[in-house]
């Protein structure tokens, strides 16, 4: 058995983030959607890609606004020197609205109670007029003001805006992507909300209903703005089994993340050797096993055991045996694989890497989850030509 050299300075576990691909995707999505406002969603550490670097590159490429779920995500971007407009839209009962106002973060609100809390936080900041957008519940059954509450919400907002206590900048919602009919029904509800807001005296600048799937698949849902998350990272929001015309390639998008690790050990074994927990894999012949130091602690799903694809030295293999917390094993047969070689789990297929969707299929999940779940032990390394 051989082990990795202590003098190899490459990261053992690495997610390579291609910022040129990110910029390309932002510009391409601007062309495809044709909207006036492009909101690039960088919640959850930019879907696992690293929020600060992604936010900077997205703004450089023309993003008009950044979207986050939590106020703390927006505050962190401000602390990193990001000055672009930021909208935060998911708030618990103790959300730090004061911190959001101090950081100049616009707030997506889902209730009259939240509106009152924002106005109360602004009383201690007389020079600040909160900028808010209202999230309307239009059929997804998640956050957002219920339709029965819209008249009270809009009347309260109009009165507060008239008093100079708040500025209502937009209305938005989200769709289920279940079918065109379901999404059209959500749009009808949304437009009912827009009409009620207008009747109450509000004049929201920005209306947005579409995230990546709706923005690419249902042009009638684009309105004034679109919120783009997964597509910005070069991945298609549609299932791989669907129409090939809706693949990332078809939209002209390039994957931003590649996941690799350094082969940590190589072992020659005899036929019938059990591999990893439960011996769910036994070798059928004398063979070579390569140890890859990535596991479910790093976001590699255990459910992809005996199935996930891996490329080493340009040749494709698959995981053999159970994926453990820190490591998994690849049976490379009689191929020449050495400690220190690169093992690529997914990335840009143009480079020969497996697609992240192959891992998603192996794990019974979606590409969104695979990139977002990559853990903190995996070093994010940004690459760009400039």
CA–CA gap between residue 184 and residue 147 (Å, rounded): 17
pLDDT digits (tens, 9 = 90+) for 161-212: 999 999 999 999 999 999 999 999 999 999 999 999 999 999 999 999 999 9
The mean per-residue pLDDT over the stretch 265-271 comes to 98
CA–CA gap between residue 353 and residue 358 (Å, rounded): 10
> What are the residues facing 333 on neighbouring strands?
288
Cα angle 235-236-238, degrees, rounded to a multiple of 5: 150
CA–CA gap between residue 309 and residue 316 (Å, rounded): 7
The mean per-residue pLDDT over the stretch 316-325 comes to 98
- Strands 328-333 vs 315-320: parallel, antiparallel or unpaired: antiparallel
CA–CA gap between residue 185 and residue 209 (Å, rounded): 12
pLDDT digits (tens, 9 = 90+) for 31-90: 999 999 999 999 999 999 999 999 999 999 999 999 999 999 999 999 999 999 999 999
DSSP class of 353: P
pLDDT digits (tens, 9 = 90+) for 103-152: 999 999 999 999 999 999 999 999 999 999 999 999 999 999 999 999 99
Q: Which two tokens stand for residue 335?
A: 């191929």
Q: Which two tokens stand for residue 107?
A: 């707030």
Q: How is 136-184 classified by DSSP, letter by letter?
A: B-SSS-SSSB-GGGHHHHHHHHHHHHHTTS-EEEEEE-----S-HHHHH
Told to judge if 277 belongs to the known catalytic residues of this protein, a careful annotator would answer: yes
The mean per-residue pLDDT over the stretch 287-297 comes to 98
What percent of the chain is predicted at pLDDT more than 90? 95
What percent of the chain is predicted at pLDDT more than 70? 97
With contact defined as beta carbons under 8 Å apart, do 309 and 321 qualify? Answer: no
Closest C-alpha among 209, 200, 143, 226 to residue 171: 209
CA–CA gap between residue 217 and residue 228 (Å, rounded): 13
pTM for this entry: 0.94
**Burial readout 240-252 (b: 16 or more C-beta within 10 A, e: otherwise):** beeeeebbbeebe
**Catalytic option among 135, 223, 233, 277:** 277
> What are the residues facing 170 on neighbouring strands?
133, 206
CA–CA gap between residue 6 and residue 274 (Å, rounded): 28
Binding residues for substrate: 142, 325
With contact defined as beta carbons under 8 Å apart, do 180 and 166 qualify? Answer: no
Binding residues: 142, 325
> What are the residues facing 380 on neighbouring strands?
15
DSSP class of 384: -
Residue 322 CA from chain centroid, whole number: 27
- What pLDDT does 385 receive? 83
């Amino acid at each position: 058995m051989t082990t990795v050299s202590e003098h190899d300075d490459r990261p053992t576990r690495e997610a390579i983030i291609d910022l040129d691909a990110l910029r390309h995707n932002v510009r391409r999505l601007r062309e495809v959607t044709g909207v006036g406002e492009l909101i690039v969603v960088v919640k959850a550490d930019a879907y696992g890609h690293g929020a600060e670097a992604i936010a900077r590159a997205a703004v450089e490429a023309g993003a008009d606004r950044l979207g986050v779920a939590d106020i703390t995500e927006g505050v962190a971007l401000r602390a990193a020197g990001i000055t672009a407009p930021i909208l935060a839209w998911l708030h618990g009962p103790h959300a730090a609205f004061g911190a959001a106002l101090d950081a100049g973060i616009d707030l997506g609100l889902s209730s009259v109670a939240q509106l009152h809390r924002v106005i109360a936080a602004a009383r201690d900041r007389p020079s600040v007029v909160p900028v808010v957008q209202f999230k309307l519940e239009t059929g997804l059954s998640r956050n957002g003001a219920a339709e029965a509450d819209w008249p009270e919400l809009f009347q309260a907002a109009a009165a507060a805006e008239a008093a100079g206590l708040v500025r209502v900048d937009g209305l938005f919602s989200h769709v289920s992507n279940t079918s065109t009919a379901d999404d059209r029904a959500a749009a009808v509800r949304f437009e009912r909300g827009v009409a009620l807001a207008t009747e109450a005296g509000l004049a929201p600048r920005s209306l947005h209903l579409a995230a990546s799937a709706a923005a690419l698949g249902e042009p009638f849902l684009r309105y004034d703005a679109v919120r783009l998350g997964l597509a910005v990272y070069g991945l298609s929001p549609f299932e791989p089994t669907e129409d090939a015309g809706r693949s990332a390639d078809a939209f002209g998008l390039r994957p931003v993340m590649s996941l690799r690790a350094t082969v940590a050990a190589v072992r020659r074994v005899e036929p019938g050797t059990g591999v990893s927990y439960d011996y769910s894999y036994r070798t059928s012949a004398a063979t070579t096993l390569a140890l890859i130091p990535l596991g479910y602690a790093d976001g590699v799903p255990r459910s992809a055991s005996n199935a996930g694809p891996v490329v080493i030295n340009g040749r494709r293999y698959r995981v053999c045996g159970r994926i453990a917390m820190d490591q998994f094993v690849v049976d490379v047969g009689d191929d020449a694989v050495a400690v220190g070689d690169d093992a690529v789990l997914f990335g840009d297929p143009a480079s020969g890497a497996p697609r992240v969707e192959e891992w998603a299929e192996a794990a019974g999940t979606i590409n969104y989850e695979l990139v977002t779940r990559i853990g903190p032990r995996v070093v994010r390394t940004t690459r760009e030509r400039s």
